[in-house]
Amino acid sequence: MGIEIFSLEGRRALVTGASRGIGRSIALAFAEAGADVAVAARTVSDLETLAKEIESLGRRAVVIETDIRNRDAIQSMVDAVVAEFGGLDIMVNNAGGSNFMSPLIAMRPEGWEKIRTLNYDAVFHACQIGAQAMLASGGGSIINISSVAGISGAPTLSMYSAAKGGVRLFTQAIAKELAASGVRANCISPGWIDTPLNDWMTSDENTLREAEKMIPMGRIGRPEEIVGAALYLASDASTFTTGTTLVVDGGQTA
């Protein structure tokens, strides 16, 4: 057994939030490893550019405009992948994030609901619908993107911590349910990563320096540094791995 266990040749993958950042890097890595890749997000122009890059690697690409806050949209997304590729082997639920911070006392209920819907409810719907498609073809790998904020509570991000912590425990629970069926479910919990979502931090030198002080490696991560964990969990290298969380954070939670 050698490096070929990391091959995704013949696999059919779906990556949400694929238009930029971590999702984009994972989608390209999957294609390089041999998978056909469906890429989903709300920004179609970015997805179309990504699809051309995937196709230049000799793989098929499907662009799906979707809003993961809507269950019907998730169902249509998975249906489109199955119709185009003939099945679904790998699902990466990467879309999510938080575009605001708030102390508990000042947080508006609608803000809590917004973050919960995007980061937690959407994962439930995607996992349920995606698992159904995988069961129809004999198995697959679900990879949910959580966060270090879901391991250790982040002040002024309590809503995000709750949602991402929920994703982690939800993944553990469904992994046990699905284990005998051939469907595996795992999490990746990134630390601070240099993505457009974190421009508010990287664009301010003082804020960036404060973030780097929390990380033993002394820097924030790059999107491509999440790829190794994703390839492992998607491939036959992890056939005995389910219900786990791989933390990629430069030592922040060590």
| DSSP helix/strand/coil, 143 | strand
Backbone angles phi, psi at 87, to 5 degrees: 165, 180
Q: How far does the chain reach from its first CA to its final CA, in angstroms? A: 32
Residue 120 makes CB contacts below 8 A (sequence gap 6+) with 162, 163, 164, 166, 167, 170
Residue 104 makes CB contacts below 8 A (sequence gap 6+) with 158
CB atoms near residue 125 (< 10 Å): 19
> What region, left, alpha or beta, does residue 83 occupy, with left being phi > 0 and alpha being psi -120 to 50 degrees?
alpha
Picking from 39, 253, 41, the residue whose alpha carbon sits closest to that of residue 146 is 253
CB atoms near residue 139 (< 10 Å): 13
Q: How far is CA 51 from the centre of its chain?
A: 18
Name the catalytic one among 85, 120, 160, 232: 160
Residue 232 falls in the annotated catalytic set: no
Q: Identify the helix (H) or strand (E) that includes residue 140.
A: strand 140-145
Q: Active-site positions?
A: 160
